[in-house]
Amino acid sequence: MITTIPLAERMRPKTLDQYVGQQHLVGKGSILRELIEKGMVPSMILWGSPGIGKTTLANIISNATERPFFPLSAINAGVKDVREIIQKAKSQQFFAAKNPILFIDEIHRFSKSQQDSLLGAVESGTITLIGATTENPSFEVISALLSRCQVYTLEPLNRDELIGLVNHALKNDEYLNKKKVTIKEEHALLQLSGGDARKLLNLLELVVNNQHGDQVEISDENVKRIAQQNIIKYDKDGEMHYDVISAFIKSIRGSDPNAGVYWLARMIEGGEDPKFIARRLLILASEDIGNANPTAIVMANNCFQAVNVIGWPESRIILSQCVTYLASSPKSNAAYMAINLAQAEVKASGNLGVPLPLRNAPTKLMKEIGYGKEYKYAHDHPHNFVHQEYLPQEISGKKFYEPMNNARENELRKRLKVLWQEKYGY
């Protein structure tokens, strides 16, 4: 027998103890779990990739705190829908009812005016807002609303957690447990679902239902064959979203403007948000090009600003110009690697003392004990440079920035070598 309710929905957890993953948020003794158990739930934004439990967690919070639950999807809801729920919440206040939870999925798709409509009700406590987003809320949620919410980051589920979900479904689902399912291989299940628990369970059900009889074998070959027959094209809400953006970024990083503009076209035809594409290009301009071509970040930033002013279809031309320029540009990840190495050093060595000559000395006492003493002002010296120690003594000579082998950075390397001679090994 085949039910019309998807497996992922049938297996949706109802309690925190059934919930899989996110132990940093809802594990025993965690801050959010304690708040839920006390019934003191703040308005919040749940940020994470698709299928890792944002909607499920919101439902569990509602059940655990015994609050009315009003779900909306930002894809098809508007200000009118928000106001109706707020009005309903206000009418219930007279009966000493607990303030309801307004859950907004894909909250990043709400416009500024739509988000503005939430402010008063959130601030007054008329509703408790739980927003779910796959995008960085710092970019997509207005600052006024963000300041009134806690932001919780959900982490991708690991392999053991995903396999645990599969085994749990095979054992406990009232339809699947009637069949004898043998998992010969699990690689394709995990690969094609990409860490998305909802996609994983629905793919499992698809594979099981496409095999006749009560004896079912899950193998990589079966999974790929059945999935290929049911493949979904890219769209901005679809399952290939992250695969396509990955191919897009890697094509530009690999200096292939033709592949870059092809994947751009795929996203355009799928209705992707141009701001999402432009943000990724802005990150890439620093991460993968950096000082090999400093103009790249200027181009990417101008592109980002332009697509915020100009909508479809004209934005496609601006994006295409930026993509082809960045793809054709020389590449360097030296700035990206430098900050990674510096952060690793900070974590390893802790808060090392700032050298006394570099310290600020706003008080007389600080001056007396040597703050700022012997500091050499670079502009008072030839070529605006003077030998001086700028790192903590414990890591003196440590090199984080390694210029790559390209025209621009070779010039930087030559200058650094003249200035610092052998200190940093340039």
Report all structural domains of the chain as residue ranges with CATH numbers, in order of start: 21-153 (3.40.50.300), 159-229 (1.10.8.60), 241-328 (1.20.272.10)
Q: What percent of the chain has pLDDT over 70?
A: 92
Average pLDDT over residues 47-76: 89
* Confidence at 2, pLDDT banded by 50, 70, 90: low
User: Is a pLDDT exceeding 50 seen at residue 380?
Assistant: yes
Measuring CA to CA, which residue among 329, 327, 303 is closest to residue 317?
A: 303
Q: What is the 3-state secondary structure (H, E, C) of 173-230?
A: CCCHHHCEEEECCCHHHHHHHCCCHHHHHHHHHHHHHCCCCCEEEECHHHHHHHHHHC
Amino acid at 45: I
* Confidence at 215, pLDDT banded by 50, 70, 90: confident
Q: Please tell me the least confidently modeled range out of 241-245, 265-269, 311-315, 404-408.
A: 241-245
* Confidence at 310, pLDDT banded by 50, 70, 90: confident
Measuring CA to CA, which residue among 47, 58, 63, 53 is closest to residue 11?
A: 53
Write down the pLDDT at residue 368: 67
Residue 156 token pair: 């991708």
Write down the pLDDT at residue 97: 64
**Residue matched to tokens 């998992």:** 183
Using DSSP's 3-state secondary structure scheme, residue 172 falls into: helix
Q: How many whole angstroms separate alpha carbon 321 and alpha carbon 415?
A: 33
Write down the pLDDT at residue 319: 96
User: Is a pLDDT exceeding 50 seen at residue 234?
Assistant: no
User: Is a pLDDT exceeding 70 seen at residue 155?
Assistant: yes
Phi-psi region of 230 (alpha: psi -120 to 50; beta: other; left: phi over 0): alpha
Write down the pLDDT at residue 99: 84
Contacts 24+ apart (CB under 8 A), 25-33: 25/57, 25/152, 25/154, 26/57, 32/152
User: Is a pLDDT exceeding 90 seen at residue 130?
Assistant: yes
Average pLDDT over residues 365-376: 72
Which phi and psi (to 5°) does residue 103 adopt?
-100, 125
Q: How many whole angstroms separate alpha carbon 47 and alpha carbon 131?
A: 8
Write down the pLDDT at residue 235: 46
- The pairing of strands 128-133 and 69-73 is unpaired
- All residues at 6 or more sequence positions from 190 whose CB lies less than 8 Å from its CB, including other chains: 159, 162, 163, 200
* Confidence at 222, pLDDT banded by 50, 70, 90: confident
Q: How many whole angstroms separate alpha carbon 363 and alpha carbon 369?
A: 10
